[in-house]
Structure 1
Amino acid sequence: MKIKQVDIYQLHWQGLSPVWHPVVVRLTTDTGLTGFGEAGTAYGIGSVGTVGVLQELAHRLIGRDPAQISQIWQDFYQHSFWAKGGGVVFYSAVSAIDIALWDLKGKALGQPVYQLLGGKVHDRLPAYASHIEYGWGPFPRYVTAPDDFARLAKRVVGQGYSGIKIDPLNFERGKTFLPFRGLLDSHQLQEAYDRVAAIRKAAGEQTRLIVDCHAKLEPAAAIALAHKLAPLNVSYFEEPISPQNVAGFATVAQQSGLPLATGERLTNALSFAPLVDSGSIQVLQPDLGNCGGITSAVRLMGLAAAHELSIQLHVCGGPLATAAALQFEAACPQFLIHEEHEVNRKPANIASGRYHYAPVDGSYAIPDRPGIGQELSEQAMEDAQVTTIREEE
Structure 2
Amino acid sequence: MKITKIDVMLFHPIESSNARGKTGAPVSWDNPAWNPVGCRVYTDEGIYGDGEAAMAYGAGCHGAFGMIRDLGNLIIGMDPMKNEVVWERIYKQTFWGQNGGPVFFAGLSALDMALWDIRGKALNAPLHVLLGGKRRDHLRTYASQLQFGWDDHIIPAYSTEAYVENAKKAVAEGYDAIKVDFFTFDKDGSTFSEEQRTGLMKPYYVDLVEERVAAVREAIGPKVDIIMENHSFLDSQSAIQLGRRMEKYNIFCFEEPNTPNPKTAKLVHDKLNIPIASGERIYTRWQYAPYFEDQTLQMIQPDIGTCGGITELKKICDMAHTYDIGVQVHVCSSPLCTAPAVQIESVIPNFVIHEHHVFNRYDYNRRLCKFDYQPVDGKFEVPNLPGNGNEYSEYALTHCEKFTIE
Q: Distance in 2 between matches of 1:58 and 1:177?
A: 40
Deviation digits for residues 187-246 of structure 1 (CA, Å, limit 9, x no counterpart): 100111111122211221111110111111121211110111111100111110111x22
Alpha-carbon contact 1:86-1:271 (below 8 Å) kept: no
Alpha-carbon contact 1:102-1:113 (below 8 Å) kept: yes
Of residues 140, 148, 154, the one that matches 2:154 is: 140
TM-score normalized by the length of structure 2: 0.93
Identity %: 38
Aligned partner letter, 2:176: S
**2:391 is aligned with 1:372:** no
Q: How far is 1:58 from its partner?
A: 0.9
**2:338 is aligned with 1:322:** yes
Q: What residue number does 2:20 align with? A: none
**2:309 is aligned with 1:303:** no
Of residues 85, 97, 114, the one that matches 1:100 is: 114
Q: Distance in 2 between matches of 1:112 and 1:175?
A: 45
Q: Distance in 2 between matches of 1:48 and 1:175?
A: 28
The aligned runs of 1:334-345 (5 Å cut-off) are: 334-345=350-361
Alpha-carbon contact 1:183-1:218 (below 8 Å) kept: no
SS in 1 for 2:4: strand
Structure 2, unmatched stretches of 5+, are 17-29
Indicate how the Cα distance of structure 1 residues 256 and 297 shifts in structure 2: closer, same or farther if over 3 A, else same. same
Of residues 247, 254, 269, the one that matches 1:237 is: 254
Alpha-carbon contact 1:23-1:38 (below 8 Å) kept: yes
Q: Distance in 2 between matches of 1:27 and 1:63?
A: 11
The aligned runs of 1:25-40 (5 Å cut-off) are: 25-40=39-54
Alpha-carbon contact 2:147-2:184 (below 8 Å) kept: no
Structure 1, unmatched stretches of 5+, are none
Q: How far is 1:366 from its partner?
A: 0.8
Deviating runs (4+, > 6 A) in structure 1?
none
Q: What residue number does 2:402 align with? A: 386
Alpha-carbon contact 1:91-1:292 (below 8 Å) kept: yes
Q: What residue number does 1:169 align with? A: 183
Q: What residue number does 2:303 align with? A: 287
Q: What residue number does 1:6 align with? A: 6
Deviation digits for residues 235-284 of structure 1 (CA, Å, limit 9, x no counterpart): 111110111x2211111111111111110011100111111111211111
Q: Distance in 1 between matches of 2:177 and 2:193?
A: 24
Q: Distance in 1 between matches of 2:5 and 2:32?
A: 29
Aligned residues: 389
Question: Greater shift after overlay, 173-182 or 87-96?
Answer: 173-182
SS in 2 for 1:336: coil
Alpha-carbon contact 2:158-2:189 (below 8 Å) kept: no
**2:88 is aligned with 1:90:** no
Q: Distance in 1 between matches of 2:65 and 2:275?
A: 36
SS in 2 for 1:385: strand
The root-mean-square deviation of aligned C-alpha atoms, in Å, is: 1.3
Of residues 228, 244, 268, the one that matches 1:211 is: 228
Q: How far is 1:114 from its partner?
A: 0.4
